[in-house]
A and B are shown apart, each in its own frame.
Chain A
Amino acid sequence: MKTLFEAHVLCRRYGDLTALYLPFFSMEKGETVVLTGRNGSGKSTLLRLLAFLEKPTSGTLFYGGNAADPRREITLLLQEPYLMKASVYWNVTLGLRLRGADEKSMREGYRDAMLAVGFTDPDNMASRGPGALSGGERQRIALASRLILSPAVLLLDEPTSNVDEASEKAILNVVRSLHEREVSVICATHDRDIPAALGAREVGIVGKRP
């Protein structure tokens, strides 16, 4: 197995506040890792660094991916996903749109991604706006918008918080199926049952302040 991420003495500060201090972290390609830790320990900050949304204040972060721009193969599902002011279809296919995909592949990708996250009738959902969706539906649609990109690395920030049981089940099923397809997944969560439910390696983020 090849190393996907390796971090040494990773630190992220916002002014005087140390949001993350991580002496060491590594994961291999195709692995599923669950980040656990108390509120404010830095799980979300670590995900943002791994997604290349932010740069560490100090320390080193190695990424062993293939793309010249890591953001083309790593995608992050935010804890409270944002859906654009457009239809469900438009939101799910947005990433493909940004890559210049044609309408046919968007339509096919939309259907597959929506079925994967547990929507049995994707066509029925296509024209709905974000205002007409429940929290669980929003979460699954946001997840579908990431799955459609077939990412090499999927980062999930508290994907099962604030969703109903059915949505939680659908999301966990997706993560399991990604693990079977050797897609690398990192999931931050408070839920102590999730590492076992996913059969994933658990990494505790202590959030020790230097």
Chain B
Amino acid sequence: MGYFSDGMHKALGLLLNMDDATFSAIQATLSSTSCALVIAMILGLPLGFLLGYASFPGKKALRLISDTLLAFPTVLIGLIVYVFITYRGPLGQFGLLFTLPGMVIGQSILALPIIVSWTAQAVESLDKRCRETLLTLGASPLQVALYTIREIRYDLGMVCVTAFGRVVTEVGVAMMLGGNIRYSTRTMTTAISLETSKGEFAQGIALGLVLLLIAFLVNFLLAWFRRMGRA
């Protein structure tokens, strides 16, 4: 186990000395994940709300599709997006392959079903007396919708944090669409994978510690949203 303690020692050194390669991977991870999350939220929150709130033909089928996509393997998302953005693909002219924007597309697709399905679930789980209360207080249909969103705000926070946690820890999309290019598209997960395969544990452990810290923060936020939602 000497190599592990040695790796741990070096890992702390990399973090404390703000090693360029390590911090470049952290930055690439956080920037691509944040962009992907924002895009997925912009598209997914309204879609999820409509799916949970409104009644329309085909709603159940849409819900089933969205729920099925929750289990979509990340490498399959990577493959599909790859086909579209590769140089011979329909979006090849934009040069997105092996770039951060290319990764963001894949990660947005990964986060979207989580946000859509769980937002719909949050709306559907809301006590039906909430809507009735708003109506008996004279709310218009638009006000009922807006105050319903306000009422599930902590659930929506949990949805977004969960989606962030899912995207920040994924490796398939980042590897296939980003190409694991050092100082460019190398993320924490792809760097850990590469460094471990090379037998270089120090950077892998350093990035693993950062991922653990992020996981802790994600869970802390989830617990906070859960507590506030119950209060």
Contacts and interface: CB of A to CB of B under 8 A. Distances in A.
A167 interface: no
Interface string A79-116: 01110110000000011001100000000000000000
A146 B135 CA distance: 12
A92 to B, nearest CB: 11
Nearest to A84: B151
B151 A145 contact: no
Given A131-B230, A131-B231, A81 B133 contact: yes
Contacts of A84: 130, 133, 147, 150-151
Interface string B127-162: 101101111111110010001001100100000000
Contacts of A81: 129, 133
B147 A71 contact: no
B229 interface: yes
Nearest to B135: A53
Nearest to B144: A98
Contacts of A129: 231
A94 B135 contact: no
Interface residues of A, number: 24
Contacts of A76: 132, 136
A78 interface: yes
Interface in A61-81: 69, 71-72, 75-78, 80-81
Contacts of B147: 84, 98
Interface of A: 51, 53, 69, 71-72, 75-78, 80-82, 84-85, 94-95, 98-99, 129-131, 145-146, 149
Given A82-B127, A95-B138, 5 more contacts: A80-B129, A82-B129, A85-B228, A98-B134, A98-B138
Interface of B: 127, 129-130, 132-140, 143, 147, 150-151, 154, 228-231
